[in-house]
Amino acid sequence: MSGVQKQLENAAWKPGNIAGDGGWTFTGGTAGEPSTVATYQAPRPVRLREDRELDLAVPTFEQFSTSGAGSQETFNLSFDLLDTPATEGIVVNKADGSGGYTRVYPDSVDYANDSFDYTDGGSTEQLVVTYIPRDPASVEFRKVAPGGGATIEQPLFEIPTAIAHTRDQSQDPLSFDLNRSKFHDTVPRKWKIEVVVDAPYPAAFGDESLGLVAPNGLLSVPVARTEQRIRGLKDAVKADIAGLS
């Protein structure tokens, strides 16, 4: 066992999760190409955990304006809508005019025709809808070293939304499959964990321009953290990625 491995084994680790916009930085994705939609920069060494649940559901955002007539209208979504057991399939938010949002409820949701009915209050309303598309996508977690020059990164885990979005994760949870190498599960201080989605729709957990995080998006990653300094960890992880350890 190397000196770095001994330090990791002897360190005090605190279990937890990387979750929500307090842990992740969200950016919108581009349809049809791999896009980094969430980033976490580790302030201290982190180890991903295989023995705890991973929560994952990847939504998209869409905006609509109502007529203001106070009568029921049908709004058609751009992508196929999934009635998922993992989370709420669709959430409708109304802009409050001061940069915030209030959740409102559609009169009905038609999953077969990818639409919902909604009646406004008699004046024009701006709606932001976050929903889970049926269209299949792939989600890759990877760790990335900081700094300029050549990018040093390593894939951690990949999962198709065909699994994540069709599973009741409260009853049949997801988990990481790691330990392909000595330090595969280990993220040094200042390194990043990135979530990259390749989808036919613009995947997004949050929209910075709107100031809204999707209430039905799920991204909670089980980790253990330590406050201790692990000497030589960055070099050991780089060597591990290069296959030199």
Residue pLDDT, tens place only, 217-230: 999 999 999 999 99
Q: Using an 8 Å Cβ cutoff, are 38 and 207 in contact? A: no
Residue 105 has pLDDT above 90, yes or no: yes
Average pLDDT over residues 232-237: 95
> In Å, how far from its chain's centre is CA 134?
17
Cα–Cα dist 183/125, whole Å: 51
Give the tens place of pLDDT for each residue, 133-149: 999 999 999 999 998 66
User: For residue 230, how many other CB atoms are within 10 A of its CB?
Assistant: 22
Helices marked H in the chain: 3-10, 20-23, 161-164, 233-242
Instruction: Tell the burial category of 209 from Cβ atoms under 10 Å away from its Cβ (0-12, 13-18, 19+).
Output: exposed
How confident is the model over 9-55, as pLDDT tens digits? 999 999 999 997 679 999 999 999 999 999 999 999 999 999 999 99
The token duo for 215 is 């209430």
Mean pLDDT (whole number) for 205-213: 92
Q: Per-residue confidence at 132, pLDDT binned at 50, 70, 90?
A: very high
Per-residue pLDDT of 55-83, as tens digits, reads 999 999 999 999 999 999 999 999 999 99
Give the number of other CB atoms < 10 A from CB of residue 58: 28
* Of 81, 79, 83, 92, residue with least CA distance to 126: 92
Domains of the chain: 3-58+136-242 (2.60.120.1170), 60-131 (2.60.40)
The model's confidence at residue 243, banded by pLDDT at 50, 70 and 90, is confident
Assess whether pLDDT exceeds 60 at residue 245: no
How many of the other CB atoms lie within 10 Å of CB of 176? 21
Percentage of the chain beyond pLDDT 70 is 97
C-alpha dihedral, 80 to 86 to 90 to 95, nearest 10°: -130
Could you say which DSSP state residue 24 is in? P
Q: Which amino acid is at 109?
A: V
- Average pLDDT over the chain reads 94
pLDDT tops 80 at residue 150: no
**AA identity, residue 50:** E
pTM for the whole thing?
A: 0.93
CB proximity list for 28: less than 8 A, separation 6 or greater: 35, 37, 61, 202, 203, 204, 207, 208
Identity of the residue numbered 207: D
